[in-house]
Amino acid sequence: MSRRTRQRTWILAGVGLIACGVVGVLPPGGRVGSGPILLVTDVLFAASVLLFAVGLSREASVVSRRPLGVAALAIVAIWPLLSSVITRAMGPGVSPDDGAWTTYGYIALFIPTAAGLVAAMQIARSDTVPSPWRWAPAWVLGMQALVWAVSQAVLVTARPENVQSFADPFHMFGTLTSLAATLGLGILTLILAARSRPESVQVYRSP
């Protein structure tokens, strides 16, 4: 039963991540009622990651329901939704140069990164996800960190008049890393769920 529960957990959560990735690549003009759609996407992402964290059973949890892993994944899950609420609450009336935006910028960088790193390490330490795929979240996190570091290095070293020419490549790489965290991990989860077949039931014939 444990493998069957794990399979159901991963299929549900994986489909949720895939849906988030598909909606994320749609152009803003192609989203009907983009505000509500993005809200639904954030809620769906939160539900999918929380399902990975808790699972339909302890054996289905990608962190084996260890408190640290569950807490880290919970932060990863709700951060996009919380971030949207905070930015809407601050509103256009607050100047980008305001101290509140600066403080929020540091918080928005540190909290999800730290939570993602802890969650990735907890998944890698757990025996739930088969090796080497238990390292997939860490690979995605490393890819995101590399793209961010390169973009910051370019912004610091490039001349102001040349920065705009890097906007499209940065946007493309940012989209790819976002897809890796949603569509990529979702597809990988479905593949692993398909490979995790429920335990066979031995049937004994009467003598």
* b/e burial code for range 18-45 (CB count within 10 A of at least 16 → b): bbbbebbeeeeeeeeeeeeebeebbbbb
In a domain, 122, yes or no: yes
In a domain, 201, yes or no: no
Residues 14-63 have pLDDT tens digits of 999 999 988 877 765 445 446 677 888 889 999 999 999 999 999 899 99
In a domain, 39, yes or no: yes
Query: Which residue range(s) make up the domain with 140?
Result: 2-195
pLDDT value, residue 204: 41
How many structural domains does the chain have? 1
Residues 93-123 have pLDDT tens digits of 555 556 777 788 888 889 999 999 999 999 9
In a domain, 156, yes or no: yes
In a domain, 206, yes or no: no
Question: Cα–Cα distance between 170 and 172 in angstroms, integer?
Answer: 5
2 band by pLDDT with thresholds 50, 70 and 90: confident
Most confident of the following: 65-79, 81-95, 105-119: 65-79
Contact 93, 38 (CB under 8 A): no
The pair of three-digit structure tokens given for residue 149, joined into one six-digit string: 């570091």
Summarize the confidence of residues 146-152 as an average pLDDT. 84
- Name residue 5's amino acid: T
Least Cα distance to 45 among 77, 69, 73, 23 occurs for: 77
Q: The pTM is what?
A: 0.82
Least Cα distance to 9 among 44, 59, 46 occurs for: 59
In a domain, 202, yes or no: no
In a domain, 207, yes or no: no
Residues 153-168 have pLDDT tens digits of 877 776 766 767 777 7
